[in-house]
Amino acid sequence: MEAVVVPNWTDVDLDAVSGAMRMVAFDLDGTLARSKKPMKEPMAAALSELTGHVPVAIVSGGTMALVTSQVTDMLTAEANRDNIYLMPTSGTRYYRWKAAASPTPASDHPSEGEGSGRPAGEWELQYKHDLSEIDRKLVMKSLERHAREMGLWEEHPYGDVIEDRGSQITFSALGQQAPVELKEQWDPTNEKKNRLKVAVQRDVPHLEVRSGGSTSVDVSLRGVDKAYAVNELAGMLGVGIGDIVFIGDRMDPDGNDYPAARAGTRALRVDGPEDTLAVVSHMNDWFRHHR
């Protein structure tokens, strides 16, 4: 298949993009927020406003717990949660908002919204595509063996190096909780991750092995990636795949956002959350003046 060249957000007419799109989907780490960090308040406010104008999807390689702490916990009372589609672990799981039927009694573990001025409710799982127990064990063994052989195994990591996310196994070279600065310096050319990806793919040809975030390699069912996610979204909304704008920072052919571009979305490349904030702010301005 012919390679797709994804334009930088500064090289497109954002007014035209805003007017034509039927949904906008975002990567998370490096796009809406830095790795494992919550969105900053200006981003949270801008994204919350955008959900009142157009359906918004978050398609992240991270777990639902991370999507919650980085995104949904940061949304303002203005956010239209009914207009949000959450697809963690690269689209292998899918969640929608379910508002509480009635006020719930106070408890030691309040649901989202209680006491915050935000609506009460929960994010309800719609589907999951889990790996079998045999495959999960096979993948974890392969990742550790090859990482050790390549000198990529960290003996004193910041948290777990290999995480079983059920529908996805994720290798994080420095550990899940490594400082962002160290992650960004570890493999700027993607050479280390690509070597590991190729070696593990040989062991599990029936599964999908791909480069994830700055230090990660992800493994899931073959064909279930961000391309799968955006095609599912198009079907749910009854729109064309080209009506979806996908915004991400890893749009090179080895990046985990690239499958969404290959699938046919209107893909835009950003270089960090600051760029994304500029894009979202421009979209909000367009909607305020045109709708």
Query: Active-site positions?
Result: 27, 29
| Residue 29 assigned to a binding site | yes
Nearest to 169 by CA among 218, 114, 223: 218
Q: How far is CA 20 from the centre of its chain?
A: 23
Tokens 């398609």 belong to 59
| Residue 265 assigned to a binding site | yes
Nearest to 196 by CA among 182, 180, 215, 183: 215
| Residue 210 assigned to a binding site | no
CA atoms of 139 and 228, how far apart (whole Å): 21
| Residue 81 assigned to a binding site | no
| Residue 252 assigned to a binding site | no
The full DSSP string for 58-117 is EE-SS-HHHHHHHTGGG--TT--GGGEEEE-GGGTEEEEEEE-SSPPPP-SSPPBTTTTT
Angle of CA points 265, 12, 283, to nearest 5°: 80
Q: Angle between the 191-203 and 133-149 helix axes, to the nearest 10 degrees?
A: 130
| Residue 165 assigned to a binding site | yes
| Residue 73 assigned to a binding site | no
Binding site residue list for Mg(2+): 27, 29, 249, 265
Binding site residue list for alpha-D-mannose 1-phosphate: 165, 216, 218
Binding site residue list: 27, 29, 165, 216, 218, 249, 265
